[in-house]
Copies of this chain bind each other. A is one copy, B any other.
Amino acid sequence: MLRHAGLRPTRQRIALGELLFSKGDRHISAEVLFEEARQAGVPVSLATIYNTLHQFTGAGLLRAISVDTTRTYFDTNTGDHHHFFLESSEEVIDMPDGFIRVENLPAPPDGFEISRVDVIVRVRATDDDRSR
């Protein structure tokens, strides 16, 4: 898989790849992956986590999502789908597939073509106090 993506299969890339892709679809931040690696006994530095996430993204194995300005989330599902964002817990979850259809998209500005359409449905707990 790594070799196919033009990346040298190193210890840490293999380990991170396993952490990322063997548990189904995930939305993970660098910090969390770092922590998981640490707990799995994989010796890896935070710098390498970032490098790897970006290389994987460049290779099309991951997709970066911006929902939250403070953190970048990486999505292991690179297919065509959209997300819920739980505002309270700052969690990103996949929207069940086959839903959402974006209709009547306007033409992009002249000289531009669509690269991706992101739909993010922000949700909050129903019984939250709405005083803010």
Chain A 106-132 interface mask (CB, 8 Å, partner B; 1/0)? 101101111111111111111100001
Identical copies of this chain, number: 2
Chain A 50-75 interface mask (CB, 8 Å, partner B; 1/0)? 00000000100000101111011000
Q: Is the C-beta of A31 less than 8 angstroms from some C-beta in chain B?
A: no
Residues of chain B contacted by A132 (CB below 8 angstroms): 58
Q: Once bound together, how far apart are the Cα atoms of A123 and B64, in whole Å?
A: 15
Q: Is the C-beta of A101 less than 8 angstroms from some C-beta in chain B?
A: yes
A69 interface neighbour in B69, B102, B106, Cβ under 8 Å: B69
Q: Once bound together, how far apart are the Cα atoms of A105 and B67, in whole Å?
A: 18
Residues of chain B contacted by A120 (CB below 8 angstroms): 117-120
